[in-house]
Structure 1
Amino acid sequence: MTSIQRKIWTLAAAVMFVMAAIWIALTYYNQRTQNQYNTILQRYLHMNEVTNASQMTVTALNNYRLSQTQENLRQVDEGKERLRAARREVMDLRNAENDFALTSYMNLVDSLIETTDRSIMFLSEKETEESTNAFSEATRISKYISEMTLTLLDTELKTYDRFYRGIIEQSTELKKFGIWMLLSITFLLLLFTYWFSLSITRPVHKLTQAAKELSRGRFDLKVEVTSNDEISFLAKMFERMRVNINNLIQEIQQKAQLENELQQNKLLLRESQLRSLQSQINPHFLFNTLDTLSKKAYLEGSEETSDLLASVAGLLRYNLKRLDRSVTLYDEVKVLRQYMEIQRARFSDRLRFEADIDESCLYVQLPGLTLQPIVENAVIHAVEPLEDGGTIRFAIADDGDRVRVEISDNGPGMAESKIKEILDAEERDRAGATEGHSTGIGFSNVVRRLRIFYGREDVIGIESSAGAGTRVTLMIPKGRSEGKDDQAADRG
């Protein structure tokens, strides 16, 4: 073991010994105090449990009187059993100071159980008036129990008042002891640190000077450090580095050459990828073709067909360009209107769309293709299967530090298991495609992208019941305004 190691181990052993002694003392004191606290707290909790059990029994008895079902009767039995268990726990708290009061307390508990049984018996014999009187008596007994519980708790507080004051005094003395101990340990550590640092800084200074000379290219100077520890080993390593420096330079040159070849290979790979992309269909050709058909339809007098083709072109262009980055709510609403124009042309009067939009909320950021897949899901499940069609309502409103977006329909609703599947699924892209989403973006995929984008789980909620339709609520934080970094959206 070298000198530096011995010094470090000596310091570590001293610190650990002092810390262990302090820890043992504090642990023993804390455990003793905690046990005393727990004993007193258990006494309070046991007494309070009697009050809670009596109130529960009376409440259950009242429910049984109002509705004589087996479930309510079972709750009455549970209340009585809980009351008996609490009574047994309180019996263990008996001492010379509370013997008389605790005996009266136990008698009240027994009276409450007996009165409860009598009320149930009268009720089973159709003697309503006697059952009511018994219930009133049980209520009064429950109040007496609550009042006596407070009296017993007050007695306990007075009994252990001296104990509390003793703990406070001990804590004060312990704090003073801790301060003196901290000052003493700090002083000793400062002395040892000063001595330890001198034994290291002197040879390190010599080693630093030698390193500066090596950095200037002075490879003819020998590195010498006269010490008997690890610094001497470092000096020998510097000397070996001086000898091997030329070999290292050659290795660096070889690595640079290999990296250059790797960059050339990457360029060749990119070139092959570009050539592969050039062989694919350019989506702009499709956009231009749809625009040409739209203009031609307009010139021929088919304005509705022209508008429909323009909406299809805009929707397709948006789907291909906006999925990989964030957009504003304004952009989402715009493409949603185009989508609804296409669906209205398909369903005519069967599809009714109602919108209530607060224009001041359209600046917030959200992932691309968020609203249209949700509305598409509503069209598929709430409008398409029904002969009379359905109504889709879309609303945007300011909600404090968030923007509330609600999409609801009057369709057949959604099962609870389906809602859980949508909100809990991690990968649902394939499921979205099988449900008939023309965009290829499933409902669960939208949920996952929203949570990743905002870094929180409560951005979307789904409410639905059989025959009452479905409502999807988005709570979009206002913190993401237009122009901020869109890297989070790229992850979605």
Structure 2
Amino acid sequence: MNTIQKKIYTLIAVVVCSMVVIWVALTYYNQKMQHQYNDILQRYLQMNEASTLSRELVTSLNNYIQSPTVDNMTVLEYDRGLLQEAMHNIVSLKNEGNVFVITNYYNLIDSLMNATDRSIRFLNENNKEEALNDFSDAARLSTYISEMTLTLFDNELKTYDQFYRGMIKQSGLLNKLGITMIAMITCILLLFTYLFSHSITRPIYRLTQAARELSRGRFDTAIDIEGSDEISFLAKTFDRMRININNLFSEAQHKAQLERELQTNKLLLQESQLLSLQSQIHPHFLFNTLDTLSKKVYLEGLEETSDLIASVARLLRYSLKRLDRPVTLYEEVKILREYMTIQRARFTDRLRYVEDIDDTCLYVQLPGLTLQPIIENAVIHAVEPLEHGGTISLVIQDKHEYVLVEIKDEGIGMSEARIEQLLDGNEQGRLQDGHSTGIGFGNVVKRLRLFYGQENIIQIESKPGQGTNVKLMLPKSNKGGGEQNAEYSDR
């Protein structure tokens, strides 16, 4: 949750980071200018050091010529080493504008050292005259070095004149930049502070308005506050409370309306019960009539006709009583045989019926009158139109997770469009047989899917001229299908 405390910490972090950025930027540019200034000053010191050391070397050489002692020689060697080190440092002062001058300056120092070495050598050989001549050359070279040092100073001043001016200008710009950055950071912080405070006060104001509307009895005004802090959480909780209160009012009104409708429906129910009793008189009268005809025909010696009438009576009784609740596969197969008895009496040898049934699968439940309409469809489209009739086979097999029921025929088959129409449940069947139950193929598909709560419960394999194979994949245990079965039973 993006809490208000985190927002405050964020504001503090932004302020601190802004100040650190300003300090780092100003410190960086100040250090950069200081390093550049130190580099230039170091160049002046190196050139001045070379000029000073050249004069000290000449002085030490003069002292040694006047008094060639070990101490004077030691001082002379020390001064010569310092000048040689300064001569090597002079090389680092070269740039594009002073290559020629620095080279000459380097050569003058080298010549001074060579003259000094020659003067010492001649003095050690007791050739004082040549030693004095070389001393004079060394003194003259020292003067040249001092003059060239001044010349180098002048060139350096001209070379870095723009740099000095740039440093002064840059210093002014840094001051302006610092002021500008402080002003900009201040504006940003003021804007951030305003947004921060607005993100807290605005939701509180909207929540207050919503509470005022709720106190007036208006529960239809939604509270929509975006965010993830404590105020947003409070607003969402308040909105859920509003919805719950509104639902309670709606539920109370709905219950009152239901009570009024219930009183009305009680009267209608009494009338419907009377009508239901009247409607049951006709089927029972028909059953009793068929039973009477069956017994009379049997007494007259027409046993086959008696069995046929009995099969019609059992089929009719089953179709009227079993549609409102699930049945077992055993009951479906049993009533299917009654139906095939009627159809074989009608088609005689033209209808051939074959069964291959695994009796261990007959406990599976399914909607009543599922197999008979499928077989009836096969009889009408695969046997009746053909002069030589046809064969219809029923296969029931155990497939571990489900029971496979296959109904095959050798009829004219059907197209993919026709199969799709049947599986969509749009085909209600156009049966013309006098013993039809009136339940179409599409009705069977809908009831199967409703009962099991699955879409892939039925498959149709067929091609024009190659017959049809209808497959039912019936789950052994309809887990989670209790609500579907209850809904099916209510229907």
**TM-score category by the smaller chain?**
0.3 to 0.5
After TM superposition, the score normalised by the length of structure 1 is 0.46
Larger radius of gyration between Structure 1 and Structure 2: 2
After TM superposition, the score normalised by the length of structure 2 is 0.46
